[in-house]
Amino acid sequence: MTTLTKKTLSHLDWLESEAIHIMREVAGQCANPVLLFSGGKDSICMLRIAEKAFRPGRFPFPLMHIDTGHNYQEVVDFRDQRAAELGERLIVRSVEDSMARGTVVLKSADESRNKHQSVTLLEAIEEFGFDACIGGARRDEEKARAKERIFSFRDEFGQWDPKNQRPELWDLYNARAFKGENIRVFPISNWTEFDVWQYIEREALELPSIYFAHQRRIVRRQGGMLPVTDVTPARPGETVETVQVRFRTVGDITCTAPVESDADTIAKIIAETATTTITERGATRLDDQTSDASMEQRKKEGYF
Amino acid sequence: MSAIEKLPAVDNGLLRFLTCGSVDDGKSTLIGRLLFDSKTILADTLCAIERTSKKRGMDAIDLSLLTDGLQAEREQGITIDVAYRYFTTGTRKYIIADAPGHEQYTRNMVTAASTADLAIILIDARKGVLTQTRRHSYLTHLVNIPHLVVAINKMDLVDYAQDVFNTIMADYLEFAAKLGIEDVRFIPLSALNGDMVVDRGERLDWYQGPTLIEVLEAADTDHTAHAEPLRFPVQYVCRPQDSANPELHDYRGFMGRVESGVIAVGDAVSVLPAGRESRVKAVQINGQSLERAFAEQSITVLLDDEIDISRGDMIVRTGELPNVTKQIDAMLCWLAESPLDARRTYLIRHTTRETKAKLAAIEFRMDINAIEHQGAERLAMNDIAKVSFKLAQPIFADRYSDNRATGAFIVIDETTNNTVGAGMIV
């Protein structure tokens, strides 16, 4: 026996422990929470954290994906496979159903459905009566997020009011909400993209194949690359090239762009991330470039 | 040995720090400088702030734009809410809580301070110790941040003069002594030019002490150096009875985070509030057994005896009991626009426990500008006061100065569900 009474946790151990603590607070404070799982790398980390938080028990919440209908098949397959392996319940609600109901109306057929996920999410929250949604957003992703609480209150319309946030002190989280209101919870708020990759490596987490370098048909548009797919065809005059790429984020096809890369292992991705010169959203999210305040605007309107 | 214990000390952990100062002290520039010189700022972010700098008619890149967050703030050119920033030096990860300095935002500063291991107080070398310096110092002391660094900034505007630095240091030490602040470091710097932030620069040769980043790298992240009593508030109870695995039929795991001290297999423990005694049968993380777990680790505890334990209970070492009490004295920071109403019942959340509470008395209000006690009948937003509360249920408390986790509580208004107060038990 040693007399050791204190030790410094590595930064990953600290971040993991904080995230487990947050998930258990949700389980302890909320009657009917749900964990949003897209098959993306951040939500894959969230599932590992949930295992560490609740095994050998079942998760005290189902998993849910809001599907725009424009997701890469590899990611959708991975999502289903991962939920099955864990033996946890997966709910999928689709933006296309909201379109059929008439609650989502696209301005044009080729408008991105990404921002319309908010509507479908709110409909699903109402359908199941969820009082809390756990998500994998991080504060380093975008400057509006840098100010968001870990337990973030949303009103009946799903709106975030950045000027009227609940004070959040120590780790005494306040998840109280009235019926119809909702709390969004972000257990990996304090993680950076680099932390996520380090955690994936340490925990040997499986990822959808499109995160690794592969050959893909793309066109170059507005200084970035756009994958050529059924929903994002090449425009007249554009040259289709085949390039070695990987995705740093995965989401709706219409607004998620790959980066050129030869990194075909986690270790190579980490090395690339360590030396990269473009921030994650800047490189790959076409929807955040519209204005300086675009993420803040979408969050006010109920976006995750 | 489990995987977690075997992991090599690949890094020096994580340090959370707070920066306090007003718009004019160059706080945003300092944070920008830390991010910039530690190579955390990436190309596209740099391009974006370069564009904005030009749009506003500036020649050089305005590093303060990096911490510019919300739309309203950009319009007003001020910081209205705590923002969190991240950087790493390769050996340590940092979380910066960027707290606004304006008087009306005391609550944000207390919020940012509550999770910080270290505070940087910025002083403009041309202005010296101001009322707001005293206010920030009082608040960091109140929230008991272990390490305090006074950064005397804008040395470039006073010709890097050593006597300016010395005078401010002497002024500061005089009032710090009155507050009881002991551990404080002074660093002269120019965030604008980068002197003594990450690089030493060439204009402050008379200063022999560490740079700001050296202080951050070396700061101890333990909340208290001495051995603390075990405090394990139960967050959630795991009973996987429906599992197909018959071994789990009697499994009862008490899940939570070790808030202080150590918990080891075989330890004699008491479970509050009932005070039932048992022994630790197992300490687990994700099904793996550990011999012991330390403060800040999220774990599952199994006990030898079948005791009825639920969320809100606390496991402690037998003989090292906290104060089990229905009456608390505390320093309270009021956070809400509607004043504290002595006639009303509030909710207090303390560790994983919640209880109804009523104000019993306001002993004094703190004038945080003059650092003086005043009489008070009521408390408005941003007021700080010594109060006492009567509680409907007992809590298991330590003094905040001994233990942050079991000394802190929040006050919730049940009619709005808002967090309206932050308390520190004395």
Chains A and B form CB pairs within 8 A to the count of 191
* Mean confidence (pLDDT) of chain A: 86
Residues B335 and B351 reside in one and the same domain: yes
Residues 6+ apart with CB under 8 A from A15: A188, A190, A191, A195, A199, B14
Return the CA Rg of chain A: 19
Contacts of A138 in chain B (CB under 8 A): none
Interface contact flag, B236 A28, Cβ < 8 Å: yes
* Torsion angles phi and psi, residue B141, rounded to 5: -70, -45
pLDDT digits 0-9 by tens, B45-92 = 666 666 776 777 766 666 666 665 555 555 555 556 788 888 888 789
3-state secondary structure of B353: strand
CB of A49 closer than 8 Å to CB of A10: no
Q: Give the percent of chain B with pLDDT over 70.
A: 86
Residues B282 and B385 reside in one and the same domain: no
Interface contact flag, A6 B69, Cβ < 8 Å: no
Tell me the HSE value of B238 on the side-chain side, using a 13 A CA sphere. 27
Residues B67 and B166 reside in one and the same domain: yes
Distance (Å) from the alpha carbon of A176 to chain B's nearest alpha carbon: 6
Q: Which of B317, B338, B363 is the last residue before a domain boundary?
A: B317
A139, two tokens: 């504060």
Distance (Å) from the alpha carbon of A249 to chain B's nearest alpha carbon: 17
B window 269-308, beta carbon within 8 A of A: 285-287, 294-298
Which residue of chain B has the CA closest to A182?
B417
Which residue of chain B has the CA closest to A164?
B81
Q: Which of B298, B317, B336 is the last residue before a domain boundary?
A: B317
- Distance CA(A109)–CA(A153), nearest Å, equals 33
- Distance CA(A9)–CA(B14), nearest Å, equals 8
Q: Which of B218, B247, B281 is the last residue before a domain boundary?
A: B218
Contacts of A222 in chain B (CB under 8 A): none
3-state secondary structure of A211: helix
Closest CA to B190 of B170, B164, B172: B164
pLDDT, mean of residues B90-101: 84
CB of A125 closer than 8 Å to CB of A91: no
Closest CA to B5 of B301, B268, B297: B297
Distance (Å) from the alpha carbon of B372 to chain A's nearest alpha carbon: 25
- Distance CA(A28)–CA(B359), nearest Å, equals 27
3-state secondary structure of A64: strand
Interface contact flag, A27 B235, Cβ < 8 Å: yes
Interface contact flag, B4 A13, Cβ < 8 Å: yes
Distance (Å) from the alpha carbon of B22 to chain A's nearest alpha carbon: 18
Residues 6+ apart with CB under 8 A from A45: A136, A188, A191, A196, A199, A200, A203, A205
Interface contact flag, B417 A282, Cβ < 8 Å: no
- Distance CA(B243)–CA(B287), nearest Å, equals 14
Sign, Cα dihedral of B302, B305, B310, B315? negative
- Distance CA(A57)–CA(B241), nearest Å, equals 8
CB of A83 closer than 8 Å to CB of A90: yes
- Preferred mutation among B5, B10, B11 to probe A, highest tally of A CBs within 10 A: B11
The conformational region for residue A293 under phi > 0 = left, psi -120 to 50 = alpha, else beta, is alpha
Distance (Å) from the alpha carbon of A22 to chain B's nearest alpha carbon: 10
Lowest mean pLDDT among B73-82, B125-134, B356-365: B73-82
Contacts of A283 in chain B (CB under 8 A): 44
- Distance CA(B420)–CA(B349), nearest Å, equals 11
Interface contact flag, B298 A169, Cβ < 8 Å: no
Residues B355 and B403 reside in one and the same domain: yes
Interface contact flag, A174 B422, Cβ < 8 Å: no
Residue B225: inside a domain: no
Residue B223: inside a domain: no
- Preferred mutation among A11, A15, A174 to probe B, highest tally of B CBs within 10 A: A11
* Torsion angles phi and psi, residue B93, rounded to 5: -100, 140
Please check the confidence at residue B148 and state whether its pLDDT lies above 90.
yes
Interface contact flag, A8 B221, Cβ < 8 Å: yes
Distance (Å) from the alpha carbon of B184 to chain A's nearest alpha carbon: 23
Interface contact flag, A172 B349, Cβ < 8 Å: yes
pLDDT of B38 reads: 74
- Distance CA(B393)–CA(B349), nearest Å, equals 11
* B38 touches A at CB < 8 Å: no
3-state secondary structure of B320: coil
CA A171 to each of CA A191, B117, B206, B224: distance values in angstroms, whole numbers, following the listed order:
16, 14, 42, 18
Contacts of B350 in chain A (CB under 8 A): 172
Interface contact flag, B13 A10, Cβ < 8 Å: yes
Distance (Å) from the alpha carbon of A94 to chain B's nearest alpha carbon: 31
Cβ neighbours around B22 below 10 Å, total: 19
Planar angle of CA A285, A82, A42, nearest 5 degrees: 30
Residue B227: inside a domain: no
Instruction: Check whether the bond before B273 is cis (ω within 30° of 0).
Output: yes
Contacts of B239 in chain A (CB under 8 A): 57
pLDDT, mean of residues B312-330: 97
Distance (Å) from the alpha carbon of B140 to chain A's nearest alpha carbon: 14
Instruction: Check whether the bond before A56 is cis (ω within 30° of 0).
Output: yes
Q: Tokens 């300490």, residue?
A: B283
Residue B102: inside a domain: yes
- Preferred mutation among A3, A52, A143 to probe B, highest tally of B CBs within 10 A: A143
Residues B282 and B347 reside in one and the same domain: no
Planar angle of CA A275, A280, A285, nearest 5 degrees: 145
Contacts of A300 in chain B (CB under 8 A): none
Residue B277: inside a domain: yes
Closest CA to B114 of A173, A10, A297: A173
CATH number of the domain enclosing B384: 2.40.30.10
Contacts of A56 in chain B (CB under 8 A): 238, 240, 243, 245, 248, 251, 253, 287
Cβ neighbours around B197 below 10 Å, total: 26
Residues 6+ apart with CB under 8 A from A245: A213, A214, A215, A216, A218, A225, A227, A258, A259, A260, A261
Interface contact flag, A16 B298, Cβ < 8 Å: yes
B372, two tokens: 């003086």
CB of B306 closer than 8 Å to CB of B268: no
Which residues in chain A land under pLDDT 50? 1-3, 288-292
Cβ neighbours around B396 below 10 Å, total: 21
Burial class (CB in 10 A: 0-12, 13-18, 19+), A124: buried
Residues B17 and B72 reside in one and the same domain: yes
Please check the confidence at residue B9 and state whether its pLDDT lies above 60.
no
Interface contact flag, B410 A276, Cβ < 8 Å: no
Task: Give the nearest partner residue to A7 out of B43, B251, B294, using CB atoms.
Answer: B294
pLDDT of B8 reads: 34
Interface contact flag, A14 B14, Cβ < 8 Å: yes
- Preferred mutation among B18, B255, B267, B425 to probe A, highest tally of A CBs within 10 A: B255
Which residue of chain A has the CA closest to B351?
A172
- State the alpha helices, DSSP H only, in A68-147: 73-86, 95-101, 117-128
- Preferred mutation among B260, B332, B410 to probe A, highest tally of A CBs within 10 A: B410
Contacts of A18 in chain B (CB under 8 A): 298
CA B334 to each of CA B143, B280, B339, B418: distance values in angstroms, whole numbers, following the listed order:
14, 40, 8, 12
Residues B174 and B272 reside in one and the same domain: no
Burial class (CB in 10 A: 0-12, 13-18, 19+), B1: exposed
Tell me A145's DSSP state: G
Which residue of chain B has the CA closest to A169?
B111
Interface contact flag, A28 B82, Cβ < 8 Å: no
Distance (Å) from the alpha carbon of B240 to chain A's nearest alpha carbon: 5
The amino acid at residue B57 is G
Residues B241 and B379 reside in one and the same domain: no
Please count the structural domains in chain B.
Answer: 3
The conformational region for residue B290 under phi > 0 = left, psi -120 to 50 = alpha, else beta, is beta
pLDDT of B228 reads: 85
Closest CA to A220 of A201, A196, A237: A237
Residue B287: inside a domain: yes
Residues B73 and B133 reside in one and the same domain: yes
Residue B416: inside a domain: yes
pLDDT digits 0-9 by tens, A95-125 = 888 888 888 888 887 777 878 888 899 999 9
Strand partners, A226: A219
Which residue of chain A has the CA closest to B251?
A56
Contacts of B423 in chain A (CB under 8 A): none
pLDDT, mean of residues B351-371: 93
Residues B136 and B189 reside in one and the same domain: yes
The amino acid at residue B1 is M
Residue B286: inside a domain: yes
pLDDT of A113 reads: 81
- Distance CA(A58)–CA(B79), nearest Å, equals 43
Cβ neighbours around A194 below 10 Å, total: 18
Residues B7 and B146 reside in one and the same domain: yes
Instruction: Note the ipTM here.
Output: 0.90
Interface contact flag, B248 A56, Cβ < 8 Å: yes
Where in the sequence is the domain holding B199, given as residue range(s)?
3-218
Task: Give the nearest partner residue to A146 out of B83, B256, B294, using CB atoms.
Answer: B83
Residues B281 and B313 reside in one and the same domain: yes
B252, two tokens: 């009862």
